[in-house]
């Protein structure tokens, strides 16, 4: 199976820095902002973004106040297919999400079904003023009318290809690769 690297660690860092700046610009600052990572790889990405947003805003101490995680396990539409995933904790910043701009953070946007589940889970937690979406990679192929507001890299792929995101916090290194597809 062929595999090629499409983002290495410096590329990922640049993409995350750009996304952090876009989030601040679209929110007109970092006030009333919450970044919720979708487990598994969205959580460390949200943490990285929160650290960058806090640093850019000149308040690095507020990073932990910006970030949380949103477990979507029980909201997925593939539970009946036997695709079981162990639930992970949902953590919300102390001030909650009501009247805040919530940025959902995930590694890859593909069909849109994960984000649909995240929107359902989010609605059970409160009522944000706005919900935005930040992803490291948008690979296309939507099943649902969902699009990302902040994208690290648009990566046109065939449906037979697989996008693999590796993060230092989970996998020991930062990189995005594509495997499979045309031989």
Please report, for the chain, the start and end positions of each structural domain, with discontinuous segments joined by +.
9-157
Q: Helix 9-27 vs helix 42-56: angle between axes, to the nearest 10 degrees?
A: 60
The mean pLDDT values, 10 residues at a time, for the chain of 183 residues are: 93 98 97 97 98 97 97 85 77 97 98 96 97 97 96 94 97 96 60
- pLDDT given for residue 183 in this prediction: 47
- pLDDT given for residue 77 in this prediction: 83
- pLDDT given for residue 81 in this prediction: 67
- pLDDT given for residue 68 in this prediction: 98
Cis geometry, peptide bond prior to residue 40 (ω within 30 degrees of 0): yes
If residue 1 lies in a helix (H) or strand (E), which one and from where to where?
A: none
> From the CA atom positions of the chain, what is the Rg in Å?
16
Kindly report the CATH number that applies to the domain delimited by 9-157. Answer: 3.40.50.2020
Sheet of strand 67-69, all strands in order from the earlier edge strand to the far edge: 67-69, 33-37, 101-109, 130-138, 150-154
- pTM, two decimals, is 0.95
- pLDDT given for residue 2 in this prediction: 87
């Amino acid at each position: 199976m062929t595999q090629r690297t499409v983002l290495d660690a410096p590329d990922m860092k640049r993409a995350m820095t750009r996304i952090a700046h876009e989030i601040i610009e679209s929110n007109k600052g970092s006030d009333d902002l919450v970044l919720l990572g979708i487990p598994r790889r969205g959580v460390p990405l949200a943490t990285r973004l929160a650290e960058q947003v806090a640093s850019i805003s000149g308040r690095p101490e507020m990073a932990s106040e910006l970030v949380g995680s949103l477990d979507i396990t029980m909201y997925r539409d593939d539970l009946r297919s036997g695709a079981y995933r162990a639930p992970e904790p949902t953590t919300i910043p102390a001030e909650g999400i009501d009247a805040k701009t919530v940025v959902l953070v995930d590694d890859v946007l593909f069909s849109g079904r994960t984000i649909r589940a995240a929107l359902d889970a989010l609605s059970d937690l409160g009522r944000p003023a706005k919900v935005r979406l930040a992803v490291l990679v948008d690979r296309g192929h939507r099943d649902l009318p969902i699009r990302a507001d902040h994208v690290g890299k648009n990566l046109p792929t065939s449906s037979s290809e697989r996008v693999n995101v590796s993060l230092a916090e989970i996998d020991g290194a930062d990189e995005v690769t594509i495997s499979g597809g045309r031989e």
